[in-house]
Amino acid sequence: MSAYQPGRQSREYHCLSKRERSKVISEVNRRFREQTGVKRQLERIGASDRELRHTWLRIRDAVMDGREQKQIEEDLDFQYEMFLYDLIDVVVSDMEMEGWTRGAKLLEIWSSRQPAVAPRYSAAVTDVVTMDWVLQFQRAKQVFDEIIRERIWTNDASRQRIAKLIKSKPTGALFGDLSLRVTEVDPSWINSRSCTSGTNVDALTAALGAFLLQVAIAGTVTARVGAVVTVSISEVGVYVKDSFDFNEAQFLGFWGHRDTPVNNATFRDWRAKFAKGGDFLVFSDIKRIKLTSPDLVTVTV
């Protein structure tokens, strides 16, 4: 083995305080005994223990490298801890600068609540997102238009839900009341379509990411012949439903003046550290569409 050549680690070792050098020596001695089996005091000069002395010095360099790596990791941990303290303010401020006010508001609500993890949600939020705002975005408008154009409240999947909805209702009975609060209407939804988060981050992505457009209906039971029931659908309602949570693996971009990477786990760490952060369902208002001619739909109950 070649002779030991002192380098950066040696210089850093000799710059340590006496106390820190003592810690290093203790660790080097331990590793030296484990690796060589030599427990005696080495000769400080002469050729007899030269190779052992060089082995000891190489181990010392390795210990110094470990100290440096540990310090780097501790510095990174400290920086991350400090970023967690500022996380909500940083992300909210960045969103507001971009004009993403609804996303900022939803995050502020989440961070103000007691811990709650989906699907054990805290109270639903119904006063931040509106359908008129959502439909300003082309990808949402496209899905909405497909729902209306295809009249999905009459397809097979909707029929199965309608059958459950009106199962015990007699002829002439009304069903569905779209004037109710959206949280009261939602249990009677009959179909939905998903809207993607898009390829570019915008205000809609910041607030909702991917979400559902839910469909509910109102009408009348017009006829019953055994298990076959005909209903007249006179009104359709479409609304947003989404889960505001950070429970899946997802990268959320770079935030703050240092462009710190943030993902869902960052917010979970924040919740664990500060005992705040309540997941919730987001609903918009209901976009109500009165049908010019009611749709007659037959179902089997």
Q: Check pLDDT > 70 for residue 264.
A: yes
pLDDT at 11: 85
Whether 85 is in a domain gets the answer no
- Crossing angle, helix 50-98 and helix 101-112, to 10 degrees? 120
Q: Are residues 66 and 116 in the same domain?
A: no
Q: pLDDT tens digit string along 11-58?
A: 888 888 888 888 888 888 998 999 989 888 888 777 888 888 888 888
Q: Are residues 55 and 157 in the same domain?
A: no
Whether 16 is in a domain gets the answer yes
| Residue 194: strand pairing partners | 212
What residues make up the domain containing 279?
99-300
Q: Are residues 145 and 285 in the same domain?
A: yes
pLDDT-derived band at 8 (thresholds 50, 70, 90) equals confident
Q: Are residues 258 and 216 in the same domain?
A: yes
Mean pLDDT across 57-70: 83
Q: Check pLDDT > 90 for residue 249.
A: no
pLDDT-derived band at 60 (thresholds 50, 70, 90) equals confident
Whether 26 is in a domain gets the answer yes
Q: Are residues 36 and 180 in the same domain?
A: no
Q: Are residues 123 and 66 in the same domain?
A: no
Better-scored residue on pLDDT, 188 or 14: 188
Q: Check pLDDT > 70 for residue 76.
A: no
Q: Are residues 208 and 72 in the same domain?
A: no
State both tokens at 221. 């039971």
Q: Are residues 43 and 183 in the same domain?
A: no
| Residue 211: strand pairing partners | 195
Of 122, 94, 125, 117, which Cα lies nearest the Cα of 208? 125
Q: Are residues 24 and 169 in the same domain?
A: no
Q: Are residues 225 and 286 in the same domain?
A: yes
Whether 123 is in a domain gets the answer yes
Whether 173 is in a domain gets the answer yes
d(CA 270, CA 85): 8
Whether 92 is in a domain gets the answer no
**Considering its fold, how many domains does the chain have in total?**
2
Q: Check pLDDT > 80 for residue 270.
A: yes
Average per-residue pLDDT in the chain?
91
Q: Are residues 220 and 114 in the same domain?
A: yes
Q: Are residues 71 and 189 in the same domain?
A: no
d(CA 8, CA 15): 11
Q: pLDDT tens digit string along 205-237?
A: 999 999 999 999 999 999 999 999 999 999 999
pTM of the predicted model, to two decimals? 0.76
Q: pLDDT tens digit string along 10-21?
A: 888 888 888 888
Q: Are 247 and 115 in contact (CB under 8 A)?
A: no
Q: Check pLDDT > 90 for residue 64.
A: no
DSSP string computed for 267-278? HHHHHHHHT--B
pLDDT at 72: 59
Better-scored residue on pLDDT, 39 or 149: 149
Per-residue HEC secondary structure of 94-111 comes to: HHHHHCCHHHHHHHHHHH
Calculate ∠ Cα 198-204-205, nearest 5°.
50
Cβ-based neighbour number of residue 137 at 10 Å: 17
Helix, strand, or coil here: 165? helix
**Residue 227 identity (one-letter amino acid):** A
Residue that is last in its domain, among 43, 78, 113: 78
Whether 286 is in a domain gets the answer yes
pLDDT-derived band at 78 (thresholds 50, 70, 90) equals low
Whether 91 is in a domain gets the answer no
